[in-house]
Amino acid sequence: MSIMERMNNYFNRLNINERNVLQQVITNRKAFYNLTVNEFANKNLVSKSFVIRLCKKLGYSGYSEFKYQLKIEVENSESQQTTQNILDVTTEDLKETIRLIDSKKLEHLSHLLYQAPHIYIYTYGTGYGQKTILEDFKRGIITSQRAITSLPTSIELRLYSNTMEKNDILFIVSISGKVTNIKNDLILLKEKGMTVVSITQFTTNELASISSINLYLKSTPISNPLSTDNPYTSYAPLCLLLDLIVKDYLNFKK
């Protein structure tokens, strides 16, 4: 958790002087990250005990831990990518996602979709962004006059599993490919004769290993200096992949 996040979380604990010191530090991290506790106190015109008390109010064990976090944030800020680098990485991610698509596999999937009695979509986890993208994928399939059922949680997945039939198709998105909590459910559905289509990052992963058809994408995380523990991962490659599935299926139905 970044210093700014801690400041926001513990805002009501802090007095006006503590807030002012933190705001000054966050605004100009490089001027403070390499100071001793005494130097830090002198630069902010406060006492050493004030600094230690402030660090503990933010949930740190002491000044050393606070200083280490400040150093990390400075390093992350200095290693920020340029706009051109971000454009290059995004372009390469999209190109790699397209390269990972097997045209024969995509054609086979369109054939299975055409024959499937029912189509289901499920995104593993609680990612709102992924679920929104899958709703747009659902809209694309519906334009072909096919019904498609969204399964928002594992509860619905288990409830519907009793009525799912042979040759039904289940699309499941998990960028990491970790699906430990529903792994047995998916294995049973596959044994039942369903086609489980996984969409994951291009890595060896749990979901891909148990799916009938594996589709891969590449999305390189970008560091987030405001939340060092939470890098930003773009869903643009996922949008691209789902869009190609819809287009190929609509073309197959001509």
pLDDT at 211: 95
CA distance 19 to 12: 10
Question: What pLDDT does 73 receive?
Answer: 80
The domain 83-252 belongs to what CATH superfamily?
Glucose-6-phosphate isomerase like protein; domain 1 (3.40.50.10490)
Residues 3-78, CATH architecture: Orthogonal Bundle (1.10)
**pLDDT computed for residue 134 by the predictor:** 87
Report yes or no: 213 and 197 within 8 Å, Cβ to Cβ: yes
Residues of the chain with CATH 3.40.50.10490: 83-252
pLDDT tens, residue order, the chain (254 aa): 788 888 888 888 899 899 889 988 888 888 898 999 999 999 999 999 999 999 999 999 999 999 988 888 887 765 556 777 788 889 989 999 999 999 999 999 999 999 999 999 998 765 667 778 888 899 999 998 899 999 988 899 999 999 999 999 999 998 888 888 899 999 999 999 999 999 998 887 889 999 999 999 988 877 766 665 677 888 999 999 999 999 999 998 76
Phi (first) and psi of residue 73, to 5 degrees: -65, -35
Using alpha carbons only, give the angle 68, 73, 79 rounded to the nearest 5 degrees.
Answer: 125
Q: Which amino acid is at 73?
A: E
Q: In the chain, which residues fall in CATH 1.10.10.10?
A: 3-78
